[in-house]
Structure 1
């Protein structure tokens, strides 16, 4: 069954398995999510589910979005995402999706914004090696030559140079579900998840 979840990254820790091996894990506050709308081919041109997460005060929601929730008799939610499906006919608006749909050992795909690191040089951004640090060298962290002179007489597009690093949508596949806390809606995944603590995470599994 195709699962799609929204959650919030809490942080990282480690747990010990039955053999005493320490496993690095990421704890995610996964859901509960609510199906806020169902898209179909006849009306919208495609099949999809709209999923909402995290309650919010109505005064912080714009009126058109607030009307969308009132039409479906739902409380306002802060985050809305769509996931395309082949056949969403077996779902209903207002249905609650909880973390107990996952199982331990299951593989999931996680998508989130990576940590923004601002403007970075070639060493940090592209793992360039630095220049010599002695014998009068003045080329320590500079990028060096960026192309030939007369021919082609320009910088080739895509040249690796200093620039903005991080704050990009990043996807990590095949993260294993190590533990599930149904009471507190916690999903514990083996390994690291993009972004800082408090980041909104999209989790999906086939």
Structure 2
């Protein structure tokens, strides 16, 4: 498994060799720094810890700074990747060229927050008749039991906060890798707002 910490730029469209239009998401991948490596002998599993984004010294607490080697400045984002396919050492830089021969990737991020929403937007309920006098348009309807136990059970689909969840979109096809611009283009949309942090990994289900 290969993976990097990246940033979502936005969506655009490109044309392939046959002139077909392809909607793509542009992902900016700044060089990730290898902060630490874990082995089965010490930790019980193999993993690589990558860091991205410099932090000012006044914003770094001593306990947080202790996990970084002396020659590496504290990073804003940290992510641990288990069973890393590439052999790396602490202090190495990993860029977008890591995905040059990769066809499909999985992208993980926090989805957009929608706020408090009703059942029609949150769960896709059809609602009642839109005609005059129906008195039942966008409501959820009855949620309790007509007999025992006589109260609303758990996990009933009801209005509430929507979005702002950890979402993974799988099997996104890699359209273009540009090492000069540190840009990765994938077909389709990825979760999150613009400039949000993404976790990009090689696809688990497709090669």
Same-fold call, TM cutoff 0.5: yes
Residues 118 and 166, structure 1, Cα contact 8 Å, conserved in 2:
yes
Match of 1:81 among 79, 82, 88: 79
Residues 47 and 87, structure 1, Cα contact 8 Å, conserved in 2:
no
TM-score by length of 1: 0.91
Q: 1:164 maps to what in 2?
A: 161
Which consecutive aligned stretches of 4+ in structure 1 deviate over 6 angstroms post-superposition?
Answer: none
Instruction: Note closer, same or farther for the CA distance 1:86–1:14 as it changes in structure 2 (3 Å cut).
Output: closer
1:136 aligns with 2:133: yes
Task: Tell me the CA shift for residue 65 of structure 1.
Answer: 1.8
1:5 aligns with 2:4: yes
Residues 2 and 84, structure 2, Cα contact 8 Å, conserved in 1:
no
TM-score by length of 2: 0.91
Aligned residue for 2:113, secondary structure, equals: coil
Task: Tell me the CA shift for residue 85 of structure 1.
Answer: 1.5
Q: 1:23 maps to what in 2?
A: 22
Aligned residue for 2:163, secondary structure, equals: coil
Instruction: Note closer, same or farther for the CA distance 1:76–1:86 as it changes in structure 2 (3 Å cut).
Output: closer
Task: Tell me the CA shift for residue 14 of structure 1.
Answer: 0.5
1:97 aligns with 2:70: no
Task: List gaps (5 residues or longer) in structure 2.
Answer: none
Residues 2 and 85, structure 2, Cα contact 8 Å, conserved in 1:
no
Task: Tell me the CA shift for residue 72 of structure 1.
Answer: 4.3
Distance (Å, rounded) in 2 between the aligned partners of 1:179 and 1:135:
53
Aligned residue for 1:54, secondary structure, equals: strand
Residues 7 and 31, structure 1, Cα contact 8 Å, conserved in 2:
yes
Aligned residue for 1:147, secondary structure, equals: coil
Q: 2:37 maps to what in 1?
A: 38
Task: Tell me the CA shift for residue 156 of structure 1.
Answer: 2.5
Task: List gaps (5 residues or longer) in structure 1.
Answer: none
CA RMSD of aligned residues (A): 1.8
Instruction: Note closer, same or farther for the CA distance 1:87–1:111 as it changes in structure 2 (3 Å cut).
Output: closer
Distance (Å, rounded) in 2 between the aligned partners of 1:132 and 1:108:
43
Distance (Å, rounded) in 2 between the aligned partners of 1:188 and 1:84:
24
Distance (Å, rounded) in 1 between the aligned partners of 2:100 and 2:190:
19
Task: Tell me the CA shift for residue 86 of structure 1.
Answer: 7.1
Aligned residue for 1:123, secondary structure, equals: helix
Distance (Å, rounded) in 1 between the aligned partners of 2:60 and 2:84:
31
